[in-house]
Amino acid sequence: MAKVTLYTTPTCVYCKAAKEFFREHSIAYEEKDVSQDVNAQHEMVEKAGVLAVPVIDVDGQVIVGFDKKKLAELLGIA
């Protein structure tokens, strides 16, 4: 099973879409709210080079934004 980290904010529509995608496909993930967690915010910027959400880390592969096709590819979802 892939290690998935989702960097979010509470008001982000695409973050909510990513969480729904993970629920639909029974993908476990760790959520980090960058609006409340400064360390997570720094971690996200270091990984992705942006201060924008969502940022999704799948086993070290970083996706900026909610790219359903790329996520499905990385997670092996047909």
Helix 13-24 vs helix 68-75: crossing angle, to nearest 10: 30
Residue-level pLDDT at 23: 97
Residue-level pLDDT at 15: 98
Q: Tally the domains of the chain.
A: 1
Residue-level pLDDT at 2: 87
Which CATH number fits the domain that encloses residue 32? Answer: 3.40.30.10
Which residues form the domain of 58? 4-75
Residue-level pLDDT at 1: 79
pLDDT string in tens for the chain (78-residue length)? 789 999 999 999 999 999 999 999 999 999 999 999 999 999 999 999 999 999 999 999 999 999 999 999 999 996
| Residue 47 CB coordination number (10 Å) | 15
Helices (H) and strands (E) in the chain, counts: 3, 4
